[in-house]
């Protein structure tokens, strides 16, 4: 088994294990141990961090990865030094701005709450840790070492967070103690990768000796361009939680925590598509390079259809059990349900659009992705600013839906006009019809009293059986049907 295939298997295992652990942390432990208000504070701090880190790095991880092969003959170490200096300068500037703008940000907050003012500065060391982690991750990826960075952040860090939450519950630590320990836990990612790179001798910081002005200009331009795209994408993904915490006049941190929980649950529909980029990127790049339009159209249709069906079934499975889930989490259905539906639909649009983003990125039109992201970042800020004061967290969810759906529509339209490709077929219509039929059937299943999980078990069982029948008997996803049949035959459950 090749190194890439072996790492892909381990990466997938770690990602799914991390999602499961993260689900327990976010949905159960955080609200139970520190409460919705304190959990909302952590999400707001992380929203600040995730936006700040993109500007701080000035695109250096992408610069390092893109130009690493070019330095094969002139010394990779010089590139590490060069990108490290760029990262340090960018991070220093952003940290200075975070300190200088602390008071204006706190003053922007509508509700009088001391928690954000008290713990705002925790975002700075977390930002430093995240920047270092992402930079070290880029070095690992350049040397085709992808498993350790995923292990540290997607698995180890979440285990440490779980232990901190359980420790806080068992030893009755104060919120202040938990938050400082939580901040320090981010150093584990950095220390682990730093030790690994030292052992592997990847951090010999020989000075950058190449007096190549065109290269410096080219790399700075590329870094700035990728920073703009990354920062805009981060704004779209995080501005809603941040603005909930700033713009709501009552219970802002608590509502931010509730919103974050529902977003995490809604984002579950993205799980089936997480490995798609790794699998399809080389094929799409190859088809575009060879101008194989028919093959490109085929992979565009199939990825869109398969993701629509799998993500759609997953979204429906969560929706039919949502009342019980909200009951377990003690979240008002009038708050949680519309947020889940809007976020879930936004992610459905995102997965159903297929690989339009990859097609643009590997074509000569690659810059347009950044233009679209930057435009939608502005739309996200404006819609959240307008809708959150009027409709609360439901307004934030609707603003997120508008931003993500608008982004996917622009990419779909661009690919349709400029490359004569589009992913949708009659099978998409059949899949949507099946989804509505399953919803109607679920509506007529009566609530089951008694034990909490009986209702979940019955609804999930009925839904799974009907979904399986639809997949086998209705022509909605031939690839998925073939995959299921192959596995059934492997275990002797179908045919010979």
Has residue 381 been placed in a domain? no
Give the per-residue pLDDT at 489: 72
Domain that holds residue 114: 1-210
Nearest 5°: phi and psi at 85? Answer: -65, -45
Task: Please say whether the beta carbons of 84 and 135 come within 8 A.
Answer: yes
pLDDT in tens, 33-75: 999 899 999 999 999 999 999 999 988 887 787 777 666 554 4
Q: What's 330's DSSP letter?
A: T
Has residue 203 been placed in a domain? yes
Whole-angstrom Cα distance, residue 496 to residue 491? Answer: 10
Rg of the Cα atoms in the chain:
24
Has residue 444 been placed in a domain? no
pLDDT in tens, 157-216: 999 999 999 999 999 999 999 999 999 999 999 999 999 998 988 876 766 655 566 777
Has residue 443 been placed in a domain? no
Has residue 25 been placed in a domain? yes
Has residue 263 been placed in a domain? no
Give the per-residue pLDDT at 164: 96
Structure tokens at 367: 């810059």
Give the per-residue pLDDT at 72: 56
For the chain, list residues with pLDDT below 50. 1-2, 4-5, 74-75
Number of domains in the chain: 1
Has residue 204 been placed in a domain? yes
Whole-angstrom Cα distance, residue 99 to residue 113? Answer: 19
Has residue 479 been placed in a domain? no
């Amino acid at each position: 088994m090749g190194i890439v295939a072996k790492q892909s298997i381990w990466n997938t295992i770690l990602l799914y294990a991390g999602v499961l652990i993260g689900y327990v942390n976010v949905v159960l432990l955080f609200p139970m141990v520190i409460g919705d208000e304190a959990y909302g504070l952590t999400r707001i701090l992380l929203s600040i961090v995730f936006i700040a880190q993109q500007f701080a790095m000035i695109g250096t991880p992408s610069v390092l990865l893109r130009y690493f092969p070019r330095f094969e003959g002139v010394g990779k170490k010089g590139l590490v030094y060069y990108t490290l200096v760029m990262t340090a300068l960018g991070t220093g500037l952003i940290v200075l701005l975070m300190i200088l703008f602390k008071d204006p940000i706190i003053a922007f907050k509508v509700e009088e709450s001391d928690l954000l003012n008290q713990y705002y500065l925790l975002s700075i060391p977390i930002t430093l840790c995240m920047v270092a982690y992402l930079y070290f991750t880029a070095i690992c990826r350049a040397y085709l070492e992808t498993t350790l960075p995923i292990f540290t952040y997607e698995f180890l860090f979440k285990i440490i967070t779980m232990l901190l939450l359980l420790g806080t519950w068992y030893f009755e630590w104060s919120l202040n103690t938990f938050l400082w320990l939580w901040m320090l836990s981010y150093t584990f990612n950095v220390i682990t990768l730093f030790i690994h790179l030292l052992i592997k001798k990847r951090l010999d910081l020989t000075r950058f000796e190449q007096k190549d002005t065109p290269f410096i200009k080219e790399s700075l331009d590329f870094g700035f361009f990728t920073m703009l795209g990354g920062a805009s994408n981060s704004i779209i993904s995080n501005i809603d939680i941040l603005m909930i915490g700033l713009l709501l006049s009552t219970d802002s941190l608590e509502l931010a925590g509730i919103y974050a929980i529902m977003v995490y649950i809604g984002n579950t529909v993205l799980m089936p598509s997480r490995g798609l980029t790794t699998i399809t990127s080389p094929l799409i790049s190859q088809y575009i390079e060879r101008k194989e339009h028919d093959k490109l159209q085929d992979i565009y249709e199939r990825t869109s259809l398969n993701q629509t069906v799998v993500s759609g079934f997953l979204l429906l499975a969560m929706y039919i059990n949502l009342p019980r889930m909200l009951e377990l989490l003690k979240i008002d259905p009038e708050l949680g349900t519309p947020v889940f539906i809007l976020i879930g639909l936004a992610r459905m649009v995102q997965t159903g659009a297929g690989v339009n983003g990859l097609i643009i990125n590997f074509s000569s039109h690659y810059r347009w992705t950044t233009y679209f992201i930057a435009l939608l970042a502005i739309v996200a800020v404006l819609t959240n600013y307008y809708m959150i004061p009027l409709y609360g967290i439901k307004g934030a969810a609707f603003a997120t839906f508008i931003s993500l759906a608008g982004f996917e529509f622009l990419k779909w339209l661009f690919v349709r006009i400029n490359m004569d490709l589009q992913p949708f077929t009659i099978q998409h219509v059949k899949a949507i019809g099946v989804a509505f039929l399953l919803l109607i059937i679920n509506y007529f299943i009566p609530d089951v009293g008694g034990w909490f999980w009986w209702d979940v078990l019955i609804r999930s069982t009925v839904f799974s059986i009907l979904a399986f029948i639809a997949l086998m008997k209705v022509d909605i996803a031939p690839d998925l049907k073939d995959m299921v049949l192959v596995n059934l035959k492997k275990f002797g459950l179908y045919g010979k």
